[in-house]
Amino acid sequence: TYKRLRTRMLQHLMWDMVARLGSARFETISGEVVSVALLVLETSRPPADQRFAALDVSEPRVPAEKAKLLRESDLLTLSQAEQLQNPDARIILDDTPAGKGKLLDEYSDFGKGSVTGDAPHYLRKFWEYPSIPEGCKRWQGSPDGLSPWSGRHEVVLWHVPGHDLTTELGVMLRGQRILGKRGVVFSKMRDLPCAMYTGELFDDNVGVLVPNEGTHLPAIWAFCSSLEFAASVRRIDQALKVTAATFVKVPFDLEHWQKVAEQLYPNGLPEPHSEDPTQWLFKGHPARSTEPLQVAVARLLGYHWPEQQDDGLDEFADKDGLVCLPSVSGEPTAAERLRALLAAAYGADWSPAKQNELLAAVDFAGKSPADWLRDGFFKQHCKLFHQRPFIWHLWDGRKDGFSVLVNYHKLDNALLTRLTYTQLGDWIARQRHADQQGQSGANARLVAALRLQEKLQLILEGEAPYDIFVRWKPLEQQPLGWQPDLNDGVRLNIRPFVEAGVLRAKPNIKWGKDRGKNPPGSPWGQERHNDCHLSLAQKRAARAQGNQEP
């Protein structure tokens, strides 16, 4: 539609001036909402030799600087008729013709991404599950430009019991003609970072192109991953978010980029690989990770990455997913167990110097693993894993008190009960005995531990505000007490622990309104509101009423 609009305007109106302002162009409007141009037209048919004045002041980030350039910059004059030769009749404000040579669309096809209609309901980080469950599909998101295999951290609840994406109102499944093929995936924003594409469902915030012939993929990847590609796209489209069709509207010299690809990849394109633990391609080994300490803790708690290989470290994993920082019930401290796992992971390379190196990399230089586990791990864990932590650090608020790392995937009602009354109970008994013996600080530790136990009891019971609320479930299906459903995600299931204040750090999670509306007949109305607490009496009454219905 925009191509037709531009063509009509170039053919039937006389263009006098175009000034590209870009974003950040008005003092009273903040943010990069749209990219704007000033345009002067006359309502008369242009002569064949019509030329218009042009200038580009989009680069400055301050409106006053743009205004100054509008008054003082030299004007470029361009042929109006030649603009029709540009791809899709796009307006290009330089005097180098863009329509010469073959375009990338002669060698490749493109696809638009899908829209779930309710991302908080249907999209999950893959680590929110102990393993990617049947019925979930891998979901390609926006590349970060730092790795050719980035953007691989989400799965979509495609056809999971109680969660069927294909029935969601507002869902738009697109790009089917290129699914399952190899190509290149781009972020549509800013400098258009790209990554390799391997056939997954993909988000609407990205665009994907696949070569018509597989042998052309190295050349296309060499071009798309170069600075020249982004510059070529931005030359014809300065919008904040580029359309998927634009990616293939740029000139492409196949022979030149084949030679570049041969030089860059003499042994062929790299195979799928990532050392980033937030990507599902990661193999799960601490020593071959960008975040070795975080990976080691996850392995200690029994987490298994989707592509994890048998590396001999599983023997160090805790069987029940509870690792206390102090010694409780006769078990070694968390720091001791972590050091043993790291020593096995690094083998002959393990040493005190290596330990110090790892701690320095997480801003704990000169400190011990115990210090990092107590004061740094969980906050860093939340940040690394997109505020969807799967190893939770529960504590009583005292640095010399009770702390435990918990594998969220295993934290069902039975395990939380055991933590509350067995592990924590053992600690309470020891502090009570020490207090009776007059040991300094024991009474304060006892009081803190008893307070923690009371809070965990409240979570087990699930009375508001220590309840789990799931907006896409009817009232009679809301959980009673601590009965989490992993399909509902960390965002909702972690809330009772946040409300109780028992986490070592508070993850940055919002429980306000989600975008869009609920399906018709939703018991919570049309707004996707998450900041809600329900009493046990409400839930039980709904369940009783549901059982009475035929």
DSSP per-residue string spanning 442-491: HHHHHHHHHHHHHHHHHHHHT-TTSS---TTS-GGGS--SS---GGG-HH
Tokens of 32: 């990069």
Q: What pLDDT does 385 receive?
A: 98
Q: What pLDDT does 377 receive?
A: 98
Cβ contact 445:433 at 8 Å: no
End-to-end C-alpha distance for the chain, whole angstroms: 53
Q: What pLDDT does 394 receive?
A: 98
Residue 262 CB: number of other CB atoms within 10 A? 12
Q: How far apart are CA 550 and CA 541, in angstroms?
A: 16
Q: How far apart are CA 501 and CA 518, in angstroms?
A: 30
Question: How far is residue 197 from each of residues 151, 179, 525, measured CA to CA in Å?
Answer: 10, 10, 39
Q: What pLDDT does 319 receive?
A: 94
Q: What pLDDT does 305 receive?
A: 98
Q: How far apart are CA 185 and CA 142, in angstroms?
A: 8
Cβ contact 486:129 at 8 Å: yes
Q: How far apart are CA 502 and CA 124, in angstroms?
A: 24
Q: What pLDDT does 516 receive?
A: 78
Q: What pLDDT does 415 receive?
A: 98
Q: How far apart are CA 540 and CA 545, in angstroms?
A: 9
Q: What pLDDT does 550 receive?
A: 40
Tokens of 521: 């007949």
Q: Say whether the peptide bond before residue 465 is cis (omega within 30 degrees of 0).
A: yes
pLDDT tens readout for residues 311-348 = 999 999 999 999 999 999 889 999 999 999 999 999 99
Q: What pLDDT does 518 receive?
A: 77
Cβ contact 248:209 at 8 Å: yes
In the chain, which residues have pLDDT < 70?
Answer: 24-25, 27-34, 95-101, 520-521, 547-550
Q: What is the pTM of this model?
A: 0.89
Q: What pLDDT does 100 receive?
A: 57
> Which residue shows structure tokens 């029935």?
167
Q: How far apart are CA 221 and CA 264, in angstroms?
A: 11
